[in-house]
Each structure stands twice: as structure tokens, then as C-alpha cells.
Amino acid sequence: MENIQTLMGQIKTDMTSGKTDEEIFQYLLPWLEKDPQTGGRLAEFMVTLPDRLTGRLLYRMLEVTQDKKVRKMIKRSLYRLKSKGIVAEEVLSDKERSILRPLQGEAKEGFASGIDFLGYRVLWLIIPHPGRGLWVMHGVVSDREGIVDFSQEDMTRKGFRTFFKEAKEKNPFPIVEIEPSYVACLFAQAYQLNLEKKGASPQGYFQVKSEIERIKKDYTKPLIYSYLQAEDIAGDDRLLRKRGDLLKAEIFSSWRIEKEQIRPYADEVWEAEESKIVLNPGQKEVRFQGIYQKALTALFSGEKRLLYQRRLEEMAYVLFKLGKEEEAKISLSVAMDLEKPLNPIQPNPFLFQLVIQSIFGLLTEAKEKKAKEVSLIVKP
């Protein structure tokens, strides 16, 4: 069991650092040759890493394993991955590849970051070109503006690994693997938003637009619905009770409502706190609750509510790919609740907490700034 945990830890580390399935497999191979049974037990645990790279590793393990019982365990793990929506292409040996698929290149890859509180995220689309390395398409998209930055570079596989490792270290949000056709779809949707907003699209996008259009598929729903069933989420009362806790998740810790939008309500709370009218704690709380509800109604009754619905659906996918399935389900549960108009009697717990967190975050900044200004005054 200790060996399995060690191997799983190494696999997770290698995946995070951007290593290929071939590189990871070279580390696993001595263990598999020494003890084939380890391969079977490892395959069962690898299902907890829902990623196409996991599927490719399992295929490589299947290729070198002769033990029927172990092969059955590996195939069962591949089936379980498939049931989660992870479909990996079968990996053939170099000899088989040269005979059976001489003209077929490597598979395309896609990656996406989480979404920040302003609706920005980073996307990568990797297209191998035999004999010419990789086409690396990299862009920043906004769910309110469209494509705000885009570049395309030719890189070697090694060069891309170095570049991608640095990008992951610098990005404040985790980056996960995602279907290339979905990345292309997200780029195309962002470009359409550019057109609707009559904004300028980055020039680099036009040079590869036709390639992106060729790769993309039309998705009727966000990708997370291929992994989690909406009917199961909707009927889970346990998830409903946890909606208000979603902001405690690290990935949402920086989410706030924009300062210019929340400031009027923060000012009202400040005035209520500083009021010369004597109010008992209960009266103050009633006043605060009224301000929170007013902010919620004003800010999320229309288009913005649907904007947050899509953000939470996309974040649910990121959480799922990070292995945080419970938090992914809660995020999707909140998103599905936002399909409905706001209920003034039972407000969406996530949005309600977001309003409170944003108000008091702004007030804390104001108080710290005021205290700093006072401390700079030189006493006579």
C-alpha cells in the first residue's frame, strides 16, 4: 500500500509539472516489471485522477502487462474513466505505430485556468504538426469583452513544457487539461462576443481563426455536464445546504464584486455602523440585512446572474479536474439554482455571501487606509 501511495504521489507531481505520459511511464515501468500486482492496484487508484493523461498511462500499462487478472483490473479502470467522460486514445508501441499509423501525429491538447472575479481566464490550444513541432495558441478571454489577448507560437515539445511550467507557476489560478474542441469553442464564443461588443480582436487570432473553427465542436451545454449529471445535482438536498460555504474554497477566495458596483452598499453599511442613532444589535442586523438584500436584487436580477451561472459551471469543471468532486458538485448546484429568477425570501446563499464578503472586504480596506493616513500625521 505504501508503494501505491508513493507512485500516486509521483504521478500527481509529474502531471502538475507537465510531463508526458511517456516520461511518467518510464518511471512506473520498473515497478510494474518487478511486481505486476502493483500495476493492478495502482490502476484502481488512478481512476481518482480524471484526466486523459491517466487514460494514456493505463493503456501503456495494459500494453506491457501479460497477467490476465491485472489486465482485467486495468480495463475496468479504463471503463470507469470513460464513464466519467474521460476518453483517452490507445497508445501503441513504436513498432506498431510505425506499421499501422505512419501518418498520424500526436493528439491535440487543451488547457484552461480558473476564472477570476472579473471573468477573465487563460486558454491554451496545442496542435502538433509532424516534423514542425507544436503550434501553441495562447489567449486571455473575458466573458464580458471577448478575446483580450492572443498569441500563436511554434515550439518544440521540450520548449512547450518549460513555457507551460512557468505559466502554471505564475498563474494565480490552477490550470487543468480540457478537451481541445472545447477550448476552440470557448475561443470562438469569445470572438463572437468581440463582434457583438464591436470591439477589436487581437490580430494574431485572425491568422489561426480557420484552424480553430475546424477543431471546435458546438457544445449545447458547458463541459461539466458531460461529467456530472444535472438531475443528480438538482435532487441532492445535502448540496443545497452547502451552497453558502462555496466561497470558503480556496479557488474562490479572491472572488469579489467589483468595487464601483458594491461601493454604494458598503457606504450604507458604514453609515449604519457610524450612525448617531442608538440601535441595539438586533436592530442593526435588520438594517444590514436590508442593505444586503437591496444589493443582491440590484446587482443580480438580470444579465449578471446568468453571467455568474456560466462562471460557476466552468469553475465546477476546474474543481472536478483537480479531484475536488464534492466542491465541483456544490459549484454546479449553485449555478443551476441561478437559472431561476432571484427569490427575495430565500436568496441564493452563494450570491448572498458574495455580497457580504465584498462589502466588508471594501470596508476593511477603507478602515486600513484611514488608519494608515492617521498614523502618518506628525504630532507637534
- For residues 145 and 199, the answer to whether their CB atoms sit within 8 Å is yes
* 122: region left, alpha or beta (phi > 0 left; psi from -120 to 50 alpha): beta
Per-residue model confidence (pLDDT) at position 27: 78
Smallest Cα–Cα separation from 65: which of 31, 20, 22, 24? 31
- Mean pLDDT in residue range 210-229: 90
β-strand pairing of 120-128 with 109-113: antiparallel
Q: Is the pLDDT higher at 334 or at 342? A: 334
> By percentage, how much of the chain surpasses pLDDT 90?
38
* pTM for the structure as a whole: 0.72
pLDDT of residue 13: 80
Q: Identify the DSSP state of 322.
A: T
Residue 87: predicted pLDDT: 65
Q: What does the pLDDT average to over 15-44?
A: 78
Highest mean pLDDT among 18-22, 85-89, 103-107, 144-148: 144-148
Q: What is the DSSP annotation of 176-218? A: EEE-HHHHHHHHHHHHHHHHHTTPPPPHHHHHHHHHHHHH---
CB 330 within 8 A of CB 243: yes
What is the structure's pLDDT at 377?
54
344 or 375, which is more confident? 344
- Calculate mean pLDDT across residues 237-251: 86
- Reply yes or no on whether the pLDDT at 68 is more than 60: yes
Dist. CA 71–CA 73, nearest whole Å = 5
Across residues 298-318, what is the average pLDDT? 93
- Lowest average pLDDT, out of 88-92, 196-200, 304-308, goes to 88-92
Q: Give the per-residue pLDDT at 286.
A: 87
Q: How confident is the model at residue 180 (pLDDT cuts 50, 70, 90)?
A: very high
* Sequence spans of domains, the chain: 2-98, 109-220, 230-374
Would the pLDDT of 99 be above 50?
A: no
The answer to whether residue 78 scores a pLDDT higher than 50 is yes
Per-residue pLDDT at 89 exceeds 90: no
- The mean pLDDT value for 56-72 works out to 85
Q: Compute the distance between CA of residue 92 and CA of residue 38 in angstroms, rounded to an integer.
A: 22
Say what the pLDDT of residue 206 is: 87
Query: How confident is the model over 232-241, as pLDDT tens digits?
Result: 888 787 887 8
| pLDDT attached to residue 24 | 85
* CB-based contact 108:180 (threshold 8 Å): yes
Backbone angles phi, psi at 145, to 5 degrees: -115, -30
Q: What is the model's pLDDT at position 59?
A: 87
Give the mean pLDDT of 83-105.
Answer: 49
pLDDT-based confidence at residue 314 (cuts at 50, 70, 90): very high
Expressed in angstroms, the distance from the first to the final Cα of the chain is: 71
Alpha carbon 176 to its chain centroid, in Å, reads 6
Q: What is the per-residue pLDDT across 100-112, written as a single tens digit (0 to 9) for each?
A: 333 344 688 999 9
Average pLDDT in the 262-272 region? 91
**111-131: per-residue pLDDT in tens?**
999 999 999 999 999 998 876
Q: What pLDDT sits at residue 32?
A: 77
- Average pLDDT over the chain, rounded to whole? 84
Among 45-49, 76-80, 205-209, 259-263, the range of highest mean pLDDT: 259-263
Categorize the per-residue pLDDT at 93 as very low, low, confident or very high, splitting at 50, 70 and 90: very low
- The whole-number pLDDT of residue 379 equals 52
CA distance 380 to 365: 28
Calpha distance 205→112 (Å, rounded): 17
More confident site: 273 or 89: 273
